[in-house]
Amino acid sequence: MTIFITTIPDDPKEWATWLEQHLVGLRLRDVIDELRLLPGSASTPLNGLLDQKQLLQVRQRGLSALSVNQVRALLGSPESLLELQDDVLLRGSDYWASLPPSAEVQHAADRVRKRLGKSPIAKERAAVPAAKPDIKHRSRGLSIALTSVAALLLIGLLTWQIQPRGSGSILGQPGLLANDVSSSAEYLNRIANAGSEWFNQNPRDSAELVTLLENVSNDCQILIDAEHKALTPKDRDWFIEKCENWKNKFDTTLASLQSGQLTFDAAKAEADKTMMKLVNVLREGPAV
């Protein structure tokens, strides 16, 4: 059994090539499952990582059009890879069709060609003189079609959805969402108390703050997706809306820190402000 993340190259400059092979391969789902187990894994959508200009460049030139940090961000948000695969398979240039197929894709293609070659229709067509085909166009079309069909069978037509995993601390503490309370207020206060533990972390540098922000963003997504059986429907809608706002603020701070737009101190102040707001709002609860 292959553990795909162990095959990620040591040199970050080679990550783009490694990821491209999986985008046109048959095992992207397995790769995503493994990437989601890594600490700090996020769930940022593709449009939150790449703008339209960057996505167009990827369609035309592949992932070499991106910086190492941008490829790192894609690997750090595994769910975005499904969107990216769909985009390059349907809208990608000849570049994507020219990538050498993996052994699995080649085997599947050979098996399909062999079966088609044995069919009565294929034999009848072979006996009829054909016009000169556009070999390059047909080869590209077949390659993309085979890969697209395989990808659709594996992920596009499945109702598969990756479930986030809690960080184990702060908003991701085990049992935080248990339905063992007597009121909505008690439930929200428990989450507020968990959030207050943010202020005990004291990250020493940007790298540690990035990890904290990625964890709390992922945990916010868990809060957004959870059923919250302890809350009334009205309180649940209010809470999820608040969580979405807080997650967006944490993500904005994270992106600004990683891009250099915010210093460590400024980013920590922003994150502290957001978490303080979260704690206070939950303790106050929804307006009556």
**pLDDT tens across 171-228, in order?**
998 889 988 999 999 999 999 999 999 999 999 999 999 999 999 999 999 999 888 9
pLDDT of residue 39: 85
Q: Is the pLDDT of residue 258 over 70?
A: yes
- Mean pLDDT across 56-84: 92
Domain count, the chain: 2
Q: Which amino acid is at 222?
A: I
Give the Cα separation of 14 and 153 in Å (integer). 29
pLDDT tens digits along 166-181: 678 899 988 899 889 9
Q: What is the DSSP letter of 171?
A: G
Shared domain for 3 and 133, answered yes or no, is yes
Q: Is the pLDDT of residue 143 over 50?
A: no
Q: Is the pLDDT of residue 56 over 50?
A: yes
- Mean pLDDT across 240-245: 95
Contact 216, 250 (CB under 8 A): yes
pLDDT of residue 239: 95
3-state SS, residue 80? helix
**Assigned token pair, 188:** 């929200």
pLDDT of residue 113: 60
Under 8 Å CB-to-CB from 78, ≥6 apart: which residues?
A: 31, 32, 35, 36, 41, 162
Contact 4, 31 (CB under 8 A): yes
CA dist 233 → 38, 224, 227, 238 (Å): 34, 14, 10, 9
Shared domain for 207 and 177, answered yes or no, is yes
Which of 162, 197, 225 corresponds to the end of one domain? 162
Give the Cα separation of 162 and 36 in Å (integer). 8
Shared domain for 239 and 264, answered yes or no, is yes
- Mean pLDDT across 261-284: 96
What is the span of the domain harbouring residue 202?
Answer: 170-284
Shared domain for 252 and 132, answered yes or no, is no
pLDDT band at residue 110 under the 50/70/90 scheme: low
Shared domain for 45 and 154, answered yes or no, is yes
Give the Cα separation of 148 and 28 in Å (integer). 12
CA dist 285 → 185, 215, 240 (Å): 7, 24, 13
Which of 127, 142, 162 corresponds to the end of one domain? 162
Q: How many CA atoms lie within 13 A of 192 on its CB side?
A: 18
Under 8 Å CB-to-CB from 80, ≥6 apart: which residues?
A: 44, 45, 46, 48, 49, 74
Considering only 116-120, 209-213, 239-243, which range has the smallest mean pLDDT?
Answer: 116-120
Give the Cα separation of 274 and 262 in Å (integer). 15
Shared domain for 143 and 201, answered yes or no, is no
Give the Cα separation of 187 and 54 in Å (integer). 43
**Assigned token pair, 65:** 């059009």
pLDDT of residue 230: 92
pLDDT of residue 208: 94
What value does the mean pLDDT of the chain take?
81
Q: Is the pLDDT of residue 11 over 70?
A: yes
Give the Cα separation of 107 and 73 in Å (integer). 32
pLDDT of residue 157: 32
Shared domain for 114 and 145, answered yes or no, is yes
pLDDT of residue 109: 61
Shared domain for 174 and 158, answered yes or no, is no
Shared domain for 147 and 217, answered yes or no, is no
Query: What stretches of 62-183 show up as alpha helix (H) in DSSP?
Result: 68-76, 80-91, 94-97, 103-118, 120-127, 135-151
Q: Which residue has the tokens 């047909």?
A: 138
Which of 139, 162, 185 corresponds to the end of one domain? 162
CB atoms within 10 A of CB 41: 22
Shared domain for 55 and 120, answered yes or no, is yes
pLDDT of residue 115: 55
pLDDT of residue 2: 66
Shared domain for 137 and 184, answered yes or no, is no
State percent of the chain over pLDDT 90. 51
- Top-confidence residue, 283 or 112: 283
pLDDT of residue 268: 96
Shared domain for 102 and 189, answered yes or no, is no
Contact 60, 7 (CB under 8 A): no
